[in-house]
Amino acid sequence: MADTRGGVHGAKSPAGQPAAEPGGVVGQQPPSPAPLAPGTAAGWVPRLAGIAAGAARQRESGIILAGIIIFIIFSITSGGQFDTASTWGTIVGSAAELGIVTVGVAMLMVGGDFDLSVGANFAFSALVMAIMTQHGYPVLAGLVVAAAIGAGIGLLNAFATLYFDIPSFVATLGTWLLWSGITLVVAGGATITVFSSSAVLRVLGGPLFGQFSFEGVWWLVIAIVIGVVLHRTVFGNWVFAVGGRRQAAYEAGVRVARTRTLNFVVCGLLAALAGAVTLGHLSSMAESYGTYYQLYAIAAAVVGGCALYGGRGSIFGAVIGSVILSMLDTGLILSGVSTYWYQAVVGIIVVLAVAMHTRVGRLIRGGGE
Amino acid sequence: MEQATPERTPVFQAERVSKQFGSVVALADVDLDLYPGEIVGILGDNGAGKSTFVKIAAGVHQPSRGTIRFDGKPVRFRSAWDARRAGIEAVHQDLGLVDSMSIARNFFLGAELKRGPLLDLRRMRRETIRLLTEIGLGNLRDVGQDVSRLSGGERQAISIGRAVAFERKLLILDEPTSALSVQETEKVFEYIRMAKRNGLAVLVIMHNLVQVAAIADRFVVFWHGRKAGDFPNTGQSERELSEYILLGRPASGEPASFQHLPAAGGRAGDGTHR
């Protein structure tokens, strides 16, 4: 696809131009403090300082700091219950359920699109999987069907958005209502419980050790895979370009429609996988389990530094954002605060996070790769 | 400038190219040859057809009738991507750069360097530096920084540098200096001349006649969808040029400046043959 016609190496150069230094910098400006700059002084002190400076320039640095502060606060207010392994098992587990959804939503947002149907997708595909299991189909078959449904819902979102050329926010607002309606038709408001000792279910969301479940493992794997895809592949580069400036991306030869479509499909697939993992953990599923997931996923992505208008964000940030939301949930309970406050606190955190990202972004724009 | 290529084979040829949008004729029977190493300034009032022509050349629009030859072969671009792959780099007013991405990622956008299935970011960075320096655009800073930090002139530098580095044969610039300071304009002219020295044919649209006269080797005038003039830049005054643009021919009494005009298809440029 990417056709450079070998020109990159054969660039015609007028005589007398100085060759580039391998340093990472052209011209008069001093080198950036990025950790990549080689040859800057030997010794580990300046190198560490360089790495620290580079890290501070990253968009996510502020939110990591905020996460640490939240952690410290809850450690104090919970009377020693917060910073324990079993609490963190719970936090990671619930962060994973939201986090797997958020990974897809974040990549989609970087590409300049939204998916409000992920919550309905999550519940519907997992309910189909639960019902299939109830009827004696192998869990693996249910998982494959759920994944196909999730990807299919994503494909439908892409079609609705691209074919009608409407904002994905509106298109997926429609498909959200469509799929949650269908879910209610299929399962009613009932909770469907799966009685199965299937190894597949256990590996999806069963206990790993202590309070830790397999959910966190899948989340980690998915986050790493999608992180590499978004930040280190041509597709990911195209996602950033499409979200940053669609017209420029198109003119540069980026297959815009294909990129957006694949992004919707991945987002839908991940929502379904999150549903499957949750089913594996709870052995039950209901329409209500996915309610507001789309909004919390967007909140987590935004807290982690995804720009609402596309073009900026990271999977790492999305992971941190999910952890922060999950910390709030568990931390409030352990601090004796009513869970009803959760929503309110998330609301405040979202606004503060966006304000911070905007300001920090202005200060450090150019923070590089 | 003086290094006109000896064989003078046109790299780009439009033959009786027409474009209709519904019942509106935007472009009628335009013939135009572009040669390597020359800078052609496209002149014309709003709606004269110059941007329609440029968009056809860049693959954005498809001609309703007529033939485009590129490198001697008839081509039919279905998209801007087709045209770019063939070797035509079009830099539109919005510059085609993604602000939120780094210089290096922008430079290789659509032509990314890979190592296995992954982007070779390190090589992309290194190559961007090397290529920009090699072609004389060495006044850029850290290529890892976002394009949003660059000035208008620096953005032009990247776009033009990309055209040269990827060995495009035709560079189309749509108002490259419209938002620039005088100093930056001068720099961008340097980049354009560098592209020319590298053997690219350059097509520029500029509203500022003083500026276009400072850079173009040849002028092509569009008037009411037709090519009304095609003549070398022999130092015509701004007034002479603007009258030509308005009338579609030289104003009476001053045809002398345009005597080098090769018959402009014998259609609208008749006034010049006296």
Q: Is the dihedral of CA A241, A1, A108, A69 positive or negative?
A: negative
Percent of chain A past pLDDT 70, that is, above it, reads: 82
Q: Which residues contact B128 (CB under 8 A, 6 or more apart)?
A: B103, B104, B107, B108, B143
Residue A35 has pLDDT above 50, yes or no: no
Query: Smallest CA–CA separation between A109 and chain B, in Å?
Result: 14
Residue B166 CB contacts under 8 Å (≥ 6 apart), including other chains: A4, A5, A7, A8, B89, B111
- What residues 204-243 of chain B have any CB closer than 8 A to a CB of chain A? none
SS3 B34: strand
Amino acid identity, position B144: G
**Quick check: A369 and B102 CB within 8 A?**
yes
Average pLDDT over residues A103-126: 97
Q: B135 CB near a chain A CB, below 8 Å?
A: yes
Residue A291 contacts residue A119 (beta carbons within 8 Å): yes
| Residue among A304, A145, A144, A315 nearest A221 (CA) | A315
Rounded CA-CA distance A243/A311 in Å is 4
Query: Which range is least confidently modeled, B92-106, B188-202, B212-226, B245-259?
Result: B245-259
User: What is the percent of chain B with per-residue pLDDT over 90, rounded to a whole number?
Assistant: 37
Reduced to 3 states (helix: H, G, I; strand: E, B; else coil), residue B204 is strand
> Nearest-CA distance from A251 to chain B in Å?
6
Residues 6+ apart with CB under 8 A from A347: none
The domain ranges of chain A are: 59-364
Cα angle for residues A186, A190, A192 (degrees, 5° grid): 85
List, in sequence order, the alpha helices (H) in chain B: 50-57, 80-86, 103-107, 121-134, 152-165, 182-197, 209-215, 238-247
Reported as a single tens digit per residue, the pLDDT across A256-311 is 999 999 999 999 999 999 999 999 999 999 989 988 899 999 999 999 999 988 99
- For residue B94, list chain A residues with Cβ-Cβ distance below 8 A: 245, 247-248
CA-CA distance, A48 to A63, in Å (whole number)? 21
- Helix A168-187 to helix A139-163 angle, to the nearest 10 degrees? 140
| Residue from B77, B101, B193 whose CB has the most chain A CBs within 10 Å, to mutate | B101
Q: Which two tokens stand for residue A32?
A: 């950036």
The answer to whether B115 faces chain A, any CB pair under 8 Å, is no
Per-residue pLDDT tens over the stretch A313-364: 999 999 999 999 999 999 999 999 988 888 899 899 889 888 888 776 666 5
Q: What is the DSSP letter of B175?
A: S
Closest-CA residue to A276 (of A202, A208, A329, A223): A202
Residue B70: enclosing H or E segment and its boundaries?
strand B65-70
Contact B84 A252 (CB under 8 A): yes
pLDDT at B95: 64
Task: For chain A, give the mean pLDDT.
Answer: 84
| pLDDT at res. B256 | 56
Nearest CA in chain A to B121: A232
Give the three-class secondary structure for B123: helix
| Buried b / exposed e along A229-248 (16+ C-beta atoms within 10 A) | bbbbbbbbbbbbbbbbbbeb
Length of chain B: 274
Topology, domain A59-364 = ABC transporter involved in vitamin B12 uptake, BtuC (1.10.3470)
Which of A13, A228, A240 is facing B100, going by the closest CB pair?
A240
CB distance from B1 to chain A under 8 Å? no
Q: What are φ and ψ of residue B104, in 5° steps?
A: -65, -40
Mutate to test the interface with B, among A247, A255, A369 (most CBs of B within 10 A): A369
* Cβ neighbours of B121 in A, within 8 Å: 232, 369
**3-state secondary structure at position A211:** coil
CB-CB under 8 Å, B144 with A368: yes
pTM: predicted TM-score of the whole model, two decimal places: 0.80
Q: Where are the beta strands (DSSP E) in chain A?
A: 192-193, 207-209, 212-213, 284-285
CA distance B104 to chain A (A): 10
Q: Containing H/E element for B240?
A: helix B238-247
CB proximity list for B121: less than 8 A, separation 6 or greater: A232, A369, B104, B105
Q: d(Cα B4, Cα A364) in Å, to the nearest integer?
A: 47
> Is the CATH number of domain B27-97+167-272 3.40.50.300?
yes
Residue A37 banded pLDDT, cuts 50, 70, 90: very low
Domain ranges of chain B: 27-97+167-272
Distance in Å, alpha carbon of A236 to nearest chain B alpha carbon: 9
Nearest-Cα distance to chain B for A240, in Å, is 7
User: How close A175 comes to chain B (CA, Å)?
Assistant: 30
Instruction: Give residue B35's identity as a one-letter amino acid code.
Output: Y
Using the predicted structure, report yes or no on whether residue A121 has a pLDDT greater than 70.
yes
| For the ranges A32-41, A145-154, B180-189, the one whose mean pLDDT is highest | A145-154
Task: Answer yes or no: do A14 and B136 touch at CB < 8 A.
Answer: yes
Instruction: Tell me the range of A168-177, B5-14, B201-210 where mean pLDDT is highest.
Output: A168-177
Instruction: Write the ipTM.
Output: 0.75
Better-scored residue on pLDDT, B85 or A118: A118
| Binary contact (B132, A26; C-beta < 8 A) | yes
Contact status of B151 with chain A (Cβ, < 8 Å): no
Tell me if B102 sits within 8 A of A250, measured CB to CB.
Answer: no
Query: How many inter-chain contacts (A to B, CB under 8 Å) are there?
Result: 182
Dump pLDDT digits (tens) for A12-34: 333 333 333 333 333 333 333 33
pLDDT of residue A250: 86
